[in-house]
Structure formats: C-alpha cells, structure tokens
Amino acid sequence: MRPPDPRTVRSRDAALAAARELLIEHGLAGLTHGAVAARSGISRATLYRLWPESPDLVRDSITLHISLSRTRQTGDLRADLSAALAVTRAMLHEPASEQAMRVMIERASVDPAFAEVKEALYRSGTWTVRAILADAVARAELPADLDIDCAVDQLHGPLFFRRLVANRSFGPDYVRAIVDDFLRCHLTKPAPQQGNR
Amino acid sequence: MRPPDPRTVRSRDAALAAARELLIEHGLAGLTHGAVAARSGISRATLYRLWPESPDLVRDSITLHISLSRTRQTGDLRADLSAALAVTRAMLHEPASEQAMRVMIERASVDPAFAEVKEALYRSGTWTVRAILADAVARAELPADLDIDCAVDQLHGPLFFRRLVANRSFGPDYVRAIVDDFLRCHLTKPAPQQGNR
C-alpha cells in the first residue's frame, strides 16, 4: 500500500472538522456533502471520492467527535468511569447528538448502511469504558472473570434508557449513583483506606 | 359521568383485539384504522370516534398488549423480577414490537403525539417491575430508601442498550445475570438459607 497523499490527508482532516461542526450545530439532517463543501472549501468531487455515501461521512464525523470527547485515564477507577459516563451524559443531552442517536436506533434496523455506522459508533462510543474496565481487571480491582460487555451495558444502559425511553433528563448525581452501584456490586476489594502515610 | 354504553365497550374491545393482532403481525406500519375495520368488522366511523388520531389507537393497542403480557407476582423477588424482564426481553426480540420501540424512540422527540404515547407505554411497560420492587421494599428485602426510578433503569436499561444500541440478541442467561447483579447490589439481607426445616 502506498502512504496516503499528504494533500488528501489535509483535505480529509479539514472536511471532517467542518462536518463535525455541522453535526453539532444542526444534527444529522445538516450533515450533507454540499454543506461540508461550503464550509470547508473542499470540492464536492473530493468529498464524494473520500466518502461515496452519506453514512460513510456520518460515521467518520461522529467517530471524530467521540474521539475528541474522550477522557484521559488517571487509574482511579471510580473517577475514570464517572468522567467517561459524564461524556455519554453530555451527548445524550445535546440536542444534535441526542437526535442523531434516536435516528440511528430507528434507521439501523431497516438500513444496512446505518446498521454498519451504528456498529462502528457503538464500538468507539464504548471504547473508553472498556479500556477503563480492562485496566481495572489487570489491577485486580475488578474480578478476572468480569463480563466486560455486560458491564458496559450496566453502565451505559441506564443512561440511555432514562434519556431515550423514559425521556427524562438527569444530572451528574445520577451518573454517580450508577457508578457507585456498579462498583458496590463488582469491586473485588474495598477501596484502599490510605492509612499508611 | 354516564356509564359507557355496553355496545361501545364491546366494539372497543373487539377493535383493540384486532389492533393487537395487526401490531404483532405487521408492526406499527400495519396498524391503521382501515386494517382494524377490515379485521374486526367495526365501522371506520366508530373507530375514528373512539380513536380520533393514529397515535391514540397505537397507544391503546400496545397498552393492551403489555397488560396481557403481564406476569403474576409470587412474592419471590428474584423469580418475579426474572419473569417480568423475560417479557421485556421477548418484546425486544419480536420483530414487530422491537421495530415499534425503535420508531417510538425516534418519533417521540419530534412528534408530541408520539411523545405522549411513549410516556404512557413507558409507564405501563415498567409498571410490573415497579410493583415488584415496591412490594420487596414493603417486605424489607430492599432498602426503604431505594430509588425505584433508578432501579427500573438498572434493570431495563442494560436490555434496551444491548438490543437497540449494540444490536445484539441475548437469552435468559443474560437476564438472570442482570437480576443477580441488581440483587447483589441492593438486597438488604442475604436470601434465607432455609436451614430450619
């Protein structure tokens, strides 16, 4: 494989930055090849070469948005999970991303292109929590046989259910309660008391 | 208020039974006043008098479906929660009801009529689990200060997330694991050992 042309990389980055802005401002409906061309100055021909179909552009724009929202791990399990879920909470309460998730849930079951996009977003959207949990297993703070997929559901599921099914909004206290209950259920040992200073 | 005309009650019951069948067979798209008239023999005029708008008919049909699917409480907290969530699991895996939930999640945020329908369905769909939890609190098996809304999210949320966001199917073992973790976290005392026979 040849390395990518640096001009292509620059065009791609500029286009995705514009696409991400459009997504934040207008939601999925505002994210079109034409709007990205107008905002980024990249030609439509180039955009269609990079992303032949609309779902391709949607996937890469949301993936960029998710990766820019990622929190840094500190090694403090409770704090890291709370920070990661605070990002999920924010996405569920920003009108554009909330609406994008609702559309995706509906479209994914009838349109294979959207199903593939949603699969990629599910992977990138749960990546941080998976990494935090795997590290905690490696440190033996969580049991070696922890079912990580199930744990991801137990952490993200209540937030999605409350926002998208119950149609309620919620604050940081709710996220803290979900993390606390999860740790109460799964921690292999109580948190160190820091008594030996 | 006058008591309802018995003929109206009979028409209403017959129409809703037909509407529920259509919903199960064809999903939301198949649930129209015309199709209900054809199957039940009730005139369109009567149907439109009982349910002026399509969401009215959808709400009452799904509410009937949910109430017919309700499980009977035995007083065994673990068994009752597992039975109630098995119904939720089944609804998430039957194509018509799964698709109805996906459409509802999307429509509810843009169409006030659907938002009102979804609120009613959220209430009736979580009614059994709420009743089970409230009884367990009364028996002091769960703490008096249990946040029932949050508990409902912790029990239903993982199932909805896995099915509608992760697009995975799952079996009874998954439901059992969610119930077990919930009880491990919240039970006020260990289950009786039945040692004094």
Residue B104 · residue B124 · CB < 8 Å: no
pLDDT band of A27, cuts 50, 70, 90: confident
Distance CA A109, CA B164 (A): 9
Nearest to A26 by CA among A87, A116, A97, A103: A97
| pLDDT of A115 higher than 90 | no
Domain range A69-186, CATH architecture: Orthogonal Bundle (1.10)
pLDDT value, residue A85: 96
Distance CA A18, CA A39 (A): 6
Distance CA B155, CA B183 (A): 10
CB contact under 8 A, A161 and B181: no
pLDDT value, residue A12: 92
Residue B152 · residue B130 · CB < 8 Å: yes
pLDDT band of A197, cuts 50, 70, 90: very low
Residue A78 · residue A172 · CB < 8 Å: no
Whole-complex ipTM: 0.83
Smallest CA–CA distance from A110 into chain B, residue: B99
Q: Which of A164, A169, A173 to mutate to test the interface with B (most CBs of B within 10 A)?
A: A164
| Cross-chain CB nearest to B162 (options A99, A153, A165) | A153
Nearest to B114 by CA among B60, B56, B61: B56
Please list every residue in chain B whose beta carbon sits closer than 8 Å to the beta carbon of residue A171: none
| pLDDT of A53 higher than 50 | yes
C-alpha angle B116-A121-A147 in degrees, rounded to nearest 5: 95
CB contact under 8 A, B159 and A157: yes
Listed by start position, the domains of chain B span 6-63, 71-186
Question: Would you state the structure tokens that stand for residue A194, as one six-digit string?
Answer: 């820091």
Residue with tokens 């439901």: B175
Q: How far is B163 from chain A (nearest CA, A)?
A: 10
Average pLDDT over residues B150-172: 97
Q: Is A167 left (phi over 0), alpha (psi -120 to 50) or beta?
A: left
pLDDT value, residue A55: 86
Tens digit of each residue's pLDDT (9 = 90 or more) over A163-187: 999 999 999 999 999 999 999 999 9
pLDDT band of A110, cuts 50, 70, 90: confident
Task: Tell me whether A162 touches chain B (CB under 8 Å).
Answer: yes
Residue B100 · residue B63 · CB < 8 Å: no
| pLDDT of B143 higher than 60 | yes
pLDDT value, residue B110: 85
Distance CA B40, CA B13 (A): 10
Residue A16 · residue A61 · CB < 8 Å: yes
| pLDDT of A196 higher than 50 | no
C-alpha angle B157-A164-B181 in degrees, rounded to nearest 5: 10
Tens digit of each residue's pLDDT (9 = 90 or more) over A127-158: 999 999 999 999 999 999 999 999 999 999 99
Task: Tell me whether B173 touches chain A (CB under 8 Å).
Answer: no
Distance CA A7, CA A181 (A): 50
Tens digit of each residue's pLDDT (9 = 90 or more) over B99-110: 889 988 998 888
Residue A62 · residue A32 · CB < 8 Å: no
A68 to A17, A61, A64, A71, A72: CA distances (angstroms)? 11, 11, 6, 9, 11
CATH class of B71-186: mainly alpha
Please list every residue in chain A whose beta carbon sits closer than 8 Å to the beta carbon of residue B168: 149
Question: Would you state the structure tokens that stand for residue A108, as one six-digit string?
Answer: 């994914």
CATH topology of domain B6-63: Arc Repressor Mutant, subunit A (1.10.10)
pLDDT band of A194, cuts 50, 70, 90: low
pLDDT value, residue A92: 94
Nearest to B186 by CA among B138, B154, B156: B154
Q: CATH assignment of A6-58?
A: 1.10.10.60
Please list every residue in chain B whose beta carbon sits closer than 8 Å to the beta carbon of residue A119: 167
Average pLDDT over residues A79-108: 92
Q: CB count, 10 Å around CB of A52?
A: 11
pLDDT value, residue B64: 87
pLDDT value, residue B190: 57
| pLDDT of A195 higher than 70 | no
| pLDDT of B191 higher than 80 | no
Please list every residue in chain A whose beta carbon sits closer than 8 Å to the beta carbon of residue B177: 147, 150
pLDDT value, residue B84: 94
Average pLDDT over residues A2-24: 87
Q: How many CB pairs under 8 A join A and B?
A: 115
| Cross-chain CB nearest to B161 (options A156, A168, A177) | A156
pLDDT band of B197, cuts 50, 70, 90: very low
Q: Lowest-pLDDT range, B32-41, B113-122, B172-181?
A: B113-122
Nearest to A129 by CA among A188, A169, A89, A184: A89
